[in-house]
Amino acid sequence: MKNLGKIMKEKKVTGYELSKRSGVSTSHISDILRGKKQAGIVIAQKLAKGLCVTVAELIDEQTTTTERQAG
């Protein structure tokens, strides 16, 4: 999830807020951000929904802020 931290920062969403929005625990989000865990498809979908982005935007390092805003 190469873009998770970037998107959280852009949207000014904390791990706690994302946890409440997505149903994914704060510790799991923290582990993903630190590279200790990888998110499976179900977790990726929950995080994407919580951030109002697509799963592709979370994992695609080629996706830029401008492309997200245009899409």
Q: Which domains does the chain have, with CATH numbers?
A: 4-60 (1.10.260.40)
Residue 15: pLDDT band (50, 70, 90) is: very high
Q: Which two tokens stand for residue 37?
A: 């865990």
Whole-number Å distance between alpha carbons of 48 and 21: 10
CA 66, CA 20: separation in Å to the nearest integer? Answer: 27
d(CA 23, CA 2): 20
Q: Determine the pLDDT at residue 7.
A: 95
pLDDT digits (tens, 9 = 90+) for 19-61: 999 999 999 999 999 999 999 999 999 999 999 999 999 988 6
